[in-house]
A = this chain, B = another copy of it.
Amino acid sequence: MNKQQNILIIGAGLCGSLLALRLAQRGYNVSIYEKRPDLRKVKMSAGRSINLAFSNRGNKGIKLVELEEKIKALCIPMKGRMIHDAHGNTFQSNYSGKSHEFINSISRRDLNVLLLDEAEKHENVNIYFNKKCKSVNFEKTTALFKDYSTQTEFVEDADVIIATDGAGSAMRKSYYLEKKFLFSFSQNYLSHGYKELSILPKTPGEYQLEKNALHIWPRGDFMLIALPNLDGSFTVTLFLSYHDGKYNFNNLAEENDVLEFFQNEFPDALAIMPNLLGDFFKNPTSPLGTIKCTPWHYKGNTLLMGDAAHAIVPFYGQGMNASFEDVVELDNILDKNLSTWEEVFQTYEHQRKQDTDAIADLAVDNFHEMKDHVANPIFQEKRKLEMAFEQHFPDAYASKYALVTFNENMGYHEAMLKGRAQDKAILNLLNDGVIAYPNTVNLKTLKPILEKVKTETNAILDDNRIAGLNY
């Protein structure tokens, strides 16, 4: 584990480039191989600046490499959800009752460029583009690449290989296909896919919707969302079933079908999307999948990180944040000065796996919650109550969403257990008439309600613990 060791990273996406930067700061010799061209040298068309939700856990990784100030310039704060109903009415629902708790829209490309630029400032970092990893020999710690420029194949040797090559990871495929050890693996698709669309600026830089919000058009079985970009555009994503319901990706085959669908369901969005049909038929429909696996590492030779180890669906906005937190967690373990990479990787997986499993499950839960509970009055009353708790007792209450998104020092697994227990407590106390949203909302009226919620939450956690349940 001396600092002159050569670390080969497969994939120069967000996780790989942050990891490379951090390992370079720690003194390792880092080579990154990326199958795509250098995105700093490739033009992207207008309205195609895909963005992501960047929040507290992601920021831990950014702080680690001391880029907090530079990132801020790329971020558009989103204080809450702007809900658009079927008649075009809107109302805002903040992410938290605490004003300093919000999430950010950030361009995947801008963030990746920054991380690559910063990594390349280190002379112990080399980045190679257009080199696609085809397989990894995890016993010899070598990787086979195809050079897209020359159409030749070559093998690279390293002391350690870390694959951050995303949900379709080539190294994970080698783990799976080689059958040299017992590899637990799952890929689980939702019934729904997604398609990216866009709302362009009215004039350059002029937003057609409220800039500082994540816009949602929830319709139960499907929904549209929009996140702002720095250029005044919004990236819009349609989540829709492949096969089921009156409208689905399979039967939206003709231009008129798509127009009718948007006219009926999203009229206010359609009015500012003259480019809808072009986007709809040009852009692919992509699946929504969860990937889990174990072990992530083979001895001390190779390690999967980021989406390569745990791809999740986007309904908590935590994909990139979880990957950045991976880098922070690995870095913490490197601080322990363990004597072998095998110990590092084992410790890392042992500590991290339950958290990435939890955020994967939470994200799928949220897909169902958004579909099923959007019209459920008891869920809406719960949300109102939680917002009031967060406003009036900022230090004493955090909702499941806030535990996951804003309480970055609590692991996802603990956030899941506590968040689920709180939800269950509030829903049942409301249902049983033990509590209700007060007519007058103030510290005095809320306090006894919060106490009941806390007592019930703890009782639920105790009951589960005694029964040996861990979910």
Interface string of A167-198 (1 = CB under 8 A from B): 00000000000000011111111000000000
Tell me how far the C-beta of A378 lies from the nearest C-beta in chain B, rounded to whole angstroms: 8
A368 to B470, CA, bound (A): 12
A436 to B406, CA, bound (A): 44
Tell me how far the C-beta of A115 lies from the nearest C-beta in chain B, rounded to whole angstroms: 31
Give the contact stretch, choosing among A219-227, A266-274, A445-453, A460-468: A460-468
Tell me how far the C-beta of A299 lies from the nearest C-beta in chain B, rounded to whole angstroms: 12
Q: Is the CB of A187 within 8 A of B186?
A: yes
Interface string of A408-434 (1 = CB under 8 A from B): 000000000000000110011001000
Does A471 reach chain B (CB closer than 8 Å)? yes
Q: Is the CB of B431 within 8 A of A466?
A: yes
Does A287 reach chain B (CB closer than 8 Å)? yes
Q: Which residues of B contact A368 (CB under 8 A)?
A: 468
* A184 contact from B189, B431, B466, Cβ within 8 A: B189
Closest partner residue, chain B, to A290 (CB atom): B184
Does A156 reach chain B (CB closer than 8 Å)? no
Chain B CB within 10 Å, residue with most, of A184, A287, A289, A372: A184
Q: Which residues of B contact A427 (CB under 8 A)?
A: 466-468
A292 to B188, CA, bound (A): 10
Q: Which residues of B contact A153 (CB under 8 A)?
A: none
Q: Is the CB of B185 within 8 A of A186?
A: yes
A189 to B176, CA, bound (A): 13
Q: Which residues of B contact A189 (CB under 8 A)?
A: 182-184
Q: Is the CB of A185 within 8 A of B187?
A: yes
Q: Which residues of B contact A369 (CB under 8 A)?
A: 468
Does A469 reach chain B (CB closer than 8 Å)? yes
Interface size class, chain A = 20 to 34
Q: Which residues of B contact A372 (CB under 8 A)?
A: 468
Does A373 reach chain B (CB closer than 8 Å)? yes
* A188 contact from B186, B242, B466, B468, Cβ within 8 A: B186
Q: Is the CB of A187 within 8 A of B184?
A: yes
A373 to B471, CA, bound (A): 18
Q: Which residues of B contact A292 (CB under 8 A)?
A: 186
Tell me how far the C-beta of A329 lies from the nearest C-beta in chain B, rounded to whole angstroms: 22
A367 to B471, CA, bound (A): 17
Q: Is the CB of B184 within 8 A of A469?
A: no
Tell me whether A373 and B468 are in contact in the complex, defined as CB-CB below 8 angstroms, given that A428-B463, A463-B424 are known contacts. yes
Closest partner residue, chain B, to A191 (CB atom): B182
Q: Which residues of B contact A182 (CB under 8 A)?
A: 189, 242, 287, 289
A338 to B466, CA, bound (A): 48
Interface string of A245-283 (1 = CB under 8 A from B): 000000000000000000000000000000000000000
Closest partner residue, chain B, to A292 (CB atom): B186
Interface string of A354-371 (1 = CB under 8 A from B): 000000000000001100
A309 to B185, CA, bound (A): 16
Tell me how far the C-beta of A291 lies from the nearest C-beta in chain B, rounded to whole angstroms: 10
Tell me how far the C-beta of A154 lies from the nearest C-beta in chain B, rounded to whole angstroms: 27
Interface string of A271-312 (1 = CB under 8 A from B): 000000000000000010100100000000000000000000
* Selected A-B contacts with CB under 8 Å, 13 pairs: A182-B287, A183-B187, A184-B187, A185-B185, A186-B188, A369-B468, A372-B468, A423-B467, A424-B463, A424-B467, A424-B469, A427-B466, A427-B467
Knowing that A186-B188, A431-B466 are A-B contacts, what are 19 other residue pairs whose CB atoms are under 8 Å apart, sorted by A's residue number?
A182-B189, A182-B242, A182-B287, A183-B187, A184-B186, A184-B187, A184-B189, A185-B185, A185-B186, A185-B187, A186-B186, A186-B187, A186-B292, A368-B468, A369-B468, A378-B466, A428-B463, A428-B466, A471-B471
